[in-house]
Amino acid sequence: MIPVSQPHIGQKEKEYVADAVESGWVSSSGAYIGRFETALQSYLGAPHVLSTSNGTTALHLALLAIGVGPDDEVIIPASSFIATVNAVLYVGATPVFVDIEEHAWGIAPDRIEEKITKKTKAIIAVHLYGYGCHIAHVKEVADAHDLWLIEDNAESIGATWQGTRLGTVGDIGIYSFYGNKIITTGEGGAVSTANGDLFERMSILKNHGRKTNGEYIHEMCGYNYRMTNMQAALGCAQLEQIDDFLAARRHIEELYDGMLGTFFTRQIEYPDTAHVMWLYSGLVPVNVGVDAVRVYLKERGVDTRPLFYPMNKMPYMDPSLRSEEYPMATQLYTRGVTLPTFVGLTDRQIETVCEHLQAVCK
């Protein structure tokens, strides 16, 4: 079976992790944590970076830091990984969904304004599948209404807007280093910000509400959202190779594009943005059922994934939210499929995937 994704773990990763283990610092203290945060800070061009236990906790910390809570509303796209809405629910706030744009799949900026109320406190802009949303327009809306802007950049590390790394345009950016991401720490995440006060608050919140390790004075009710030294060691090795990883993924994208042509509809870039290749995803023709496509490919040894199910339609959502319709987000799920994309995927494997996809979509 050709998998959808798998991490690329080489000798450098093994050496760094072994060094972390041999040092005895295997939990949330150790040299690799600071080293990873500093390297990530340099790569992103961000004044402050904080490692976390995963991308979901990073997003939770971001919302806590800006003071989102009950009676607040947070505007989010209808299509994203479920952690985007769950983090809003964690803090007791109300998610307010906005449909995505048809061709670029980012939150539709011109539909945000109509959803803003006196209770709106923040917008979460999601950069989906390696592509930036229309961050310039979203930021204009946020600034005009004095709203916090959080960038959910879990899937798109390395992508840029006007040469600036996505995740550093808004007030806070969050990142995920899960096993299928562009770089991985196994489980892990990070937040970035230019705001020193937000950084300090998130630093305290992620460490049980205390400022200093080894002292049991807790400033606030906090959380255990810390990355381990072993995870950070893996992250250091991965981050040192990120340019090579992105180049390999771009090669995969170019091969897919060349072989599949236009029948597999891809998302497009917004002006002044440069995407990265996370997972090669697109829409099958309207007359071809995506479920049939996935079954056909699986029977021939090709693993796939559907695109995200509209978050407001999840069974546990409030009925008032479930009744809302977002046509573009729905289309993404009913026609969308993700193809194998990972460093180490061979040209021949890509040819095999394309041959089978073309056959079933004829």
Which residues lie closer than 8 Å to 256 by C-beta, 6 or more apart? 280, 339, 350, 353, 354
CB 158 within 8 A of CB 165: yes
pLDDT mean across residues, the chain: 97
Q: What is the pLDDT of residue 256?
A: 99
Q: What is the pLDDT of residue 143?
A: 99
Task: Please say whether the dihedral angle defined by the alpha carbons of residues 298, 269, 172 and 139, taken in this order, is positive or negative.
Answer: negative
For the chain, what is the radius of gyration of the CA atoms? 20
Q: Is 139 a catalytic residue?
A: no
pLDDT in tens, 42-54: 999 999 999 999 9
pLDDT in tens, 270-329: 989 999 999 999 999 999 999 999 999 999 999 999 999 999 999 999 999 999 999 999
Q: What is the mean pLDDT of residues 197-204?
A: 98
Q: Which two tokens stand for residue 295?
A: 């079954």
Residue ranges of the alpha helices (H) in the chain? Answer: 11-23, 31-44, 55-65, 83-90, 135-144, 196-206, 229-239, 242-260, 290-299, 319-322, 327-335, 347-361
pTM for the model stands at: 0.97
Q: Which domains does the chain have, with CATH numbers?
A: 11-239 (3.40.640.10), 242-361 (3.90.1150.10)
From 152, 145, 159, select the one nearest 124 (Cα to Cα).
Answer: 152
CB 61 within 8 A of CB 98: no
pLDDT in tens, 352-361: 999 999 999 9
Task: Find the catalytic residue in 121, 139, 181, 206.
Answer: 181
DSSP 183: S
pLDDT in tens, 212-260: 776 899 999 999 999 999 999 999 999 999 999 999 999 999 999 999 9
Q: Is 58 a residue whose pLDDT tops 90?
A: yes
